Structure 1
Amino acid sequence: MPLRAKILDPRVASRAQMSTSPINETIKELPGDEPEDVLCNNLYGLRTIELNRPGKLNALNASMIRKIVPRLVEWEKSDMANVVVMKGAGDKAFCAGGDVQALAKKNMEGPEGQKASSDYFALEYKLDHYIATYQKPYIAFMDGITMGGGVGLSIHAPFRIATERTVFAMPETTIGFFPDVGASFFLPRMAGSIGTYLALTSDRLTGANVFYSGVATHYLHSTSLPSLESRLAELRFRDYDDIHKRLAIIEMTIEEFATGLPHTEPLLLGGELRQAIDRCFSKGTVAEVMEALKQEQGPTQAWAEKTLDTLHQRSPTSVHVAHTQMQVARDWSISDTFQREHQIASNFMKHPDFTEGVTARLISKEKPKPTPKWQPASLEEVQPGDDIAAPFFKVSNDVPTLKLLTDRDYADYPYKSFGVPTEDDIQAVVSEGRRTPREVVEHFIRRKNGRQGISTIVEEFLARKTIVNEAGKAEWENDFNRMSEQ
């Protein structure tokens, strides 16, 4: 059966998201759910959800989801709730992922256990989709480790605040899984081939670089977050303010607490490294990616060798699935994304690599940790023409199409203007041919109301992708080369 949600015209995507859509089902706590693993609080117009398993790095489980969803539904309907903040308890993690150890143990019970794991992902993806299409201002404090399931709670938010303690990654290929929780929607939309690089390697971004990459929309010091919460609680919106007006007010409020970006943490995914990432990870097959890495010379050779070693440690099946995912998911709507990911996740629950990877990497008490026995065992075992990813993308009648909590959908993030400038944004301004490099930078600084770090992002793009013509104006390099050839 087809698994396609209606893809909306991007020009009306924001209006579509804000349309009325009834909740399709009721999710509530069950007997036996953990007490106080989620703490909810009201302060004037602010509503907060605090993940409260600091000893487990706030890893997300079904008990937590069954507490979070009813509160979000209640607050979305309430005229008293102005802003929702999602945060984690303790100073180590926002949310380090889903409780994959419990899932791997379930899978060991056979088909019934695998179905239970699939049901968990259904519950998680319903929450993530609901957050991605939420009709109230939603802010994620990505303070500390933000991986896997924690990314699903944050990456689709209009505002995503990184701090000096933020560690972002999608580590799924290390445990025989794939980048899920809506990563199919977010990662392919990252600049160049950065999303594919992060998906295949599980590489980490920390602190300011979570902001520079566009994963976060803002960077604040962690000590500023309590004061920001208090200020958000005081905000008052007029009844006729639409969601974009309210988000603009929140954007200015967040900026009140900016104290500057650390000088000791320069932009990482830029310059020669960024060019190497685009060269290698834009290839059409995993084999071509590997070959491109082998061909790297000069200042990026050491990086390429290290990346090759990293990929050889990952599940070959996961690497191939993630690579295909980054290519085909560009055309999925937000609803498609979670429905497709549920099919893929369910297939992984039946594949030995997930249980093997979680057991070796996380459950085993051996020191050092044992090396997972992947199937197939290595990337070299995958022969040309072997499409080991294809079965994961097939729609199976054994896994019903995921029915999401609402029918809301869009083809592109409706609030992405509140994030950092994208490379498409910068290229569009450069291609007008009317500004010097300094004027391009100043244009985006004004557009972002002086937000810290914007100049760094724009200047890196200009240095990498533009030249200065005889008139002193910035020109996109491809446009300049084309004119020179004529």
Structure 2
Amino acid sequence: MSTSPVNETIKELPGDEPQDVVFSSLYGLRTIELNRPEKLNALNASMIRKIVPRMVEWEQSDLANVIVTKGAGDKALCAGGDVAILAQQNMQGPSGQRASVDYFALEYKLNHYIATYKKPYIAFMDGITMGGGVGLSIHAPFRIATERTVFAMPETTIGFFPDVGASFFLPRMNGAIGTYLALTSDQLTGANVFYSGVATHYLHSTSLPNLESRLAELRFKDYHTMEERLGIIEMTIEEYATGLPSKEPILLGGELRRAIDRCFSKGTVAEVIGALKEEQGPTKAWAEKTLHTLHQRSPTAVHVALKQMQVGPNWSIAETFQREHQIAAKFMQHPDFVEGVWARLISEERPRPTPKWQPASLEAVQPEDHIEAPFFQVADDLPRLKLLTDRNFEEYPYKTLGVPSEKEVEEVVRRDLKTRQEVLAHFIARKKGRQGISTIVEEILARKTTTGENGKVIWDDSE
């Protein structure tokens, strides 16, 4: 990544909410606290206009060592963007839609800046972390889940698409998990946010204040590289690990994980539906429930999300946000977004009304319709999003701080032909004994390998 300066100045505007973000400094620690607990810390433009200049200031300061982002209260880091405001703007016509598109430009600039930030950045994913909250956390080198964490990309439920860089991070998850989460808006909770790789660490929520105090005390030498500083932080976080909950096994593993990969690795929505209908045995009930879920989602959003998962791996982090800005602009003109937000979030009817999607159902969409295609066409009347810096990468530069991926386990198995215990020992040593690593690697080995001569594990290519 380059070290280019910030390209533009973002600052508060008259009328922005006071105290919707609280900043604090303690020795070398700088803290961003989203402060709208009554709205589950939903992110709006006022908050972004406060956060960006502080992050720019801290990045240039020799006194700022570590940045932590957290949410006020005990319910949420951030439940998402304040989409109710955007839907209400869109109802005003083209001028309101342009204002909504401007919000996404601001949000994506912040997301990209976090992803390419030059100081250690830690996200406390304590409580609800969805949509816009994911954008503030998923691109961080350190993402800490707790027993209260609820992670989801719920956009297809409101006639939108998984954004905030989802085109980059979801397709890079193991197997078809990212596609499954994108299309269904399914939730992960607690330790499973860690097991899935969404979080890099799992701590009990009561440990976070003590961790903050400890992070404030860290001192780095001028000659420490970014990697060395992150290594120190990694060991510091692990000091507060008190174990993973024994009654919370890996959810997206075993037979369920095999079914997810079978069904959500298909090329079209129709093929996904067909594969779910064919599921039998222990995953049949899950498949039926998933079919019901998909039929509640915006058909347009589901088709766009699947295409997004297929093309996203080819986009750099910068291109991801520039392309998502274009897609978001198209959704601001599509009736499903206002319809979905109104039905799910704004309407006072109880029970909440069922959204009237256009087209109305997945069955109403024919393959030759290609309803997702217009969303991936670059609009001539919308300038390419200019990001805060020209920093860019093709893969997360600090992904080794996370849990082992299936690709990493596969590489070790294929290269070294180790026994099961030797593979486990390899990753436990690589991760310096971090809690939960053996559990994750054991699940991958149980599902993806067989045992050959002399107890050596062999990667199974049959699936």
TM norm structure 2: 0.99
Match of 1:165 among 148, 161, 176: 148
Partner Cα distance (2:3, 2:145) in 1: 31
Which runs of 5 or more structure 2 residues have no equivalent in the other structure?
Answer: none
The answer on whether the counterparts of 1:293 and 1:305 sit within 8 Å (CA) in structure 2 is yes
Matches within 5 A, 1:132-147: 132-147=115-130
Q: Could you tell me which residue of structure 2 aligns to residue 251 of structure 1?
A: 234
Q: Could you tell me which residue of structure 1 aligns to residue 48 of structure 2?
A: 65
Q: Could you tell me which residue of structure 1 aligns to residue 295 of structure 2?
A: 312
Match of 2:246 among 250, 257, 263: 263
Cα deviation digits, residues 79-133 of structure 1 (max 9, x gap): 0000000000000000000000000000000000000000000000000000000
Runs of 4+ in 1 over 2 A off after TM superposition: none
**1:384 CA drift (Å):** 2.4
Matches within 5 A, 1:277-292: 277-292=260-275
SS in 1 for 2:368: coil
Partner Cα distance (1:459, 1:408) in 2: 37
**1:432 CA drift (Å):** 2.1
**1:433 CA drift (Å):** 3.9
Matches within 5 A, 1:121-140: 121-140=104-123
Partner Cα distance (2:416, 2:137) in 1: 37
**1:475 CA drift (Å):** 1.0
Q: Could you tell me which residue of structure 1 aligns to residue 164 of structure 2?
A: 181
Match of 2:436 among 453, 466, 469: 453
Match of 1:329 among 304, 312, 326: 312
Comparing both chains, which one has the higher relative contact order based on Cα–Cα distances under 8 Å and sequence gaps of 6 or more?
1
Partner Cα distance (1:384, 1:128) in 2: 34
Match of 2:6 among 8, 11, 23: 23
Q: Structure 1 residues 379-388 or 315-324, which shifts more?
A: 379-388
Paired-residue identity, %: 78
Match of 1:338 among 315, 321, 325: 321
Q: Could you tell me which residue of structure 2 aligns to residue 156 of structure 1?
A: 139
Match of 1:409 among 384, 388, 392: 392
Partner Cα distance (1:372, 1:113) in 2: 21
Q: Could you tell me which residue of structure 2 aligns to residue 364 of structure 1?
A: 347
Q: Letter of the 1:168 partner, please give it.
A: F
1:116 and 2:99 equivalent? yes
SS in 1 for 2:455: coil
Q: Could you tell me which residue of structure 1 aligns to residue 411 of structure 2?
A: 428
Which runs of 5 or more structure 1 residues have no equivalent in the other structure?
Answer: 1-15
Partner Cα distance (2:165, 2:187) in 1: 18
Matches within 5 A, 1:38-117: 38-117=21-100
SS in 2 for 1:42: strand
**1:426 CA drift (Å):** 0.3
Cα deviation digits, residues 374-417 of structure 1 (max 9, x gap): 00000000012110000011100121110000000000000001
Match of 1:206 among 171, 184, 189: 189
The answer on whether the counterparts of 1:433 and 1:475 sit within 8 Å (CA) in structure 2 is no
Q: Could you tell me which residue of structure 2 aligns to residue 8 of structure 1?
A: none
The answer on whether the counterparts of 1:59 and 1:99 sit within 8 Å (CA) in structure 2 is yes
Partner Cα distance (1:419, 1:477) in 2: 24
Partner Cα distance (1:127, 1:432) in 2: 40
Q: Letter of the 2:344 partner, please give it.
A: R
Cα deviation digits, residues 161-205 of structure 1 (max 9, x gap): 000000000000000000000010000000000000000000000
Cα deviation digits, residues 248-286 of structure 1 (max 9, x gap): 000000000000000111000000000000000000000
Partner Cα distance (2:342, 2:460) in 1: 49
Q: Could you tell me which residue of structure 2 aligns to residue 193 of structure 1?
A: 176
SS in 2 for 1:87: strand
Q: Letter of the 1:456 partner, please give it.
A: T
SS in 2 for 1:64: helix
Partner Cα distance (2:437, 2:134) in 1: 23
SS in 1 for 2:117: coil
SS in 1 for 2:170: helix
SS in 1 for 2:442: helix
**1:326 CA drift (Å):** 0.2
Partner Cα distance (1:420, 1:89) in 2: 27
Partner Cα distance (1:328, 1:224) in 2: 39
Partner Cα distance (1:108, 1:398) in 2: 21
